[in-house]
């Protein structure tokens, strides 16, 4: 698992060696017990049967922060069939939307069920390791896929490392342009300025790492690794970015940053950053990086 080394400093310094689980079910149990904290996914079901005709059983079903259906498949070590198996289940899921929506309604309520994002279903594969063919295949496929390597440390620690992550990368939404289509010349110029700023913010967030995926929702654009680390929405004269970074860890500046913990807003994140110019974007880059690191 990369070159990371973990040491215990209790009673001296001792290296804590990584290990694989005794059984696949052990990894599944750990992740399902804290899926929202680990993956940003609300847990729906375990070992979900796909019926007698299809003849399968999905390890875990969930719904992510943006409302996208999520299938999670686990393997104890390296299994060259994990990607194919997971995609087999994604195809089943897309043919059984009504059944999935009923499950979401039962577990999470009508509001969540009415906002399922069907154009971005996700497959998360968690395994001891992956083959080079897996790493290549995810970049050739049109689905949103995350390959996550795990290791256990001692009795109470699990490490998750995203080794490949792909999603459809959309362009800056055309809604920014439509808002100024019938406006006055000053209003159109202001709209165009915000659109240009949105493009710069988009480039900055996607440029933080190769594992960044962009998800476009009607109300906001989400930027995620395994979990959202930034959500961006627009106003007439500014962009609002909601970041995963904890507001208590930064110096809040009135008119630029704000703690929105407990306040309703589109997207996820408790640190609001207001962006009106390229200068604001430059000031925000450190916060973007902090939020990106927090979602690792």
pLDDT value for 260 = 95
User: Residue by residue, what is the 3-state secondary structure of 171-205?
Assistant: CCCCHHHHCCCCCCHHHHHHHHHHHHHHHHHHHHH
Separation of alpha carbons 280 and 200, rounded Å: 11
Give 266 or 28, the one with higher predicted confidence. 28
For 6-166, CATH gives 3.40.1350.10
Instruction: Calculate what percentage of the chain has a pLDDT beyond 90.
Output: 68
Q: What is the pLDDT of residues 43-63, one digit of tens each?
A: 999 999 998 888 899 999 999
Q: What is the pLDDT of residue 116?
A: 94
Distance CA 292, CA 77 (A): 28
* Residue 178 scores a pLDDT above 60: no
Q: Is 6 helix (H, G, I), strand (E, B) or coil?
A: strand
Q: How far apart are CA 232 and CA 111, in angstroms?
A: 22
pLDDT at 53: 81
* Alpha-carbon gap, residue 17 to 14, rounded angstroms: 9
> What are 193-222's pLDDT values in tens digits?
888 999 999 999 999 988 888 988 888 999
**Domains of the chain, residue spans:** 6-166, 175-294
- Give the model's pLDDT for residue 189: 66
């Amino acid at each position: 698992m990369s070159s990371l080394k973990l040491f215990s400093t209790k009673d001296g310094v001792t290296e804590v060696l990584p290990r694989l689980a005794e059984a696949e079910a052990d990894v599944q149990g750990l992740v399902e017990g804290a899926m929202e904290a680990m993956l940003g996914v609300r847990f729906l079901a375990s070992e979900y049967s796909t019926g007698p005709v299809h003849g399968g059983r999905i390890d875990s079903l969930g719904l992510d922060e943006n409302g996208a259906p999520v299938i999670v498949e686990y393997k104890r070590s390296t299994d060259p069939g994990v990607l194919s198996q997971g995609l087999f289940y994604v195809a089943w899921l897309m043919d059984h939307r009504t059944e999935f929506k009923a499950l979401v309604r039962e577990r999470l309520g009508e509001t969540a069920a009415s906002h399922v994002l069907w154009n971005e279903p996700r497959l998360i594969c968690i395994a001891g390791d992956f083959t080079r063919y897996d790493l290549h295949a995810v970049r050739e496929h049109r689905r949103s896929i995350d390959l996550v390597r795990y290791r256990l440390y001692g009795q109470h620690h699990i490490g998750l490392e995203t080794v490949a992550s792909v999603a459809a990368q959309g362009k800056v939404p055309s809604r920014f342009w439509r808002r100024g289509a019938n406006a006055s010349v000053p209003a159109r110029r202001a709209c165009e300025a915000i659109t240009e700023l949105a493009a710069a913010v988009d480039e900055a967030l996607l440029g933080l790492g190769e594992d960044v995926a962009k998800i476009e929702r009607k109300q906001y654009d989400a930027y995620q690794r395994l979990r959202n680390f930034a959500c961006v929405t627009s106003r007439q004269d500014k962009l609002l970015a909601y970041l995963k970074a904890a507001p208590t860890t930064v110096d809040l500046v009135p008119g630029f940053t704000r703690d929105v913990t407990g306040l309703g807003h589109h997207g996820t994140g408790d640190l609001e950053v207001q962006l009106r110019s390229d200068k604001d974007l430059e000031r925000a880059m450190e916060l973007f990086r902090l939020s990106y690191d927090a979602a690792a």
